[in-house]
Amino acid sequence: METHNKRPSIYLYLDDMRPCPAGFVLARTAEECKLFLNECDVQILSLDYELGWNSPTGMDVAKHIAMNLEADRYPREIYMHSSSPSGRASMFQLLYAHKPEHVQLYNSPVPDDILLRIEQTKL
């Protein structure tokens, strides 16, 4: 695993139920995801919106990114894999309004070719 400024470099997947893609680190809760974002150099972040009944959502993570992370701490690429169209849209809009220019933002899941590349290289 590579490090940047002594922080582990990871691919991060936030979801309370789906299996984690190979090569990604899994966060099952918004709080766990925020800890990884604070402690690691996240190359790719894939966000779910709904994280269980009466639990913080992916929007809480999006707010954390937009309001608390410095530009150099943002994930390089952010994807939305949530099945909630309104949740995906609200996370995308918030992140788009605050993202630094170097960050790539997608209102869709991580494409299969990228998942395969990550699985094969295992950062």
Give yes or no for residue 52 having a pLDDT over 90. Answer: yes
Q: Give per-residue pLDDT as tens, 73-100.
A: 999 999 999 999 999 999 999 999 999 9
- Please name the amino acid found at residue 30: A
Q: What is the value of pTM for the model shown?
A: 0.92
Is residue 58 within a helix (H) or strand (E), and if so which, with residue range? helix 58-68
The Cα-based distances of 102 to 8, 27, 35, 43, 121 in angstroms read 20, 24, 22, 12, 23
Quote the CA–CA distance of 103 and 43 in Å, as a whole number: 10
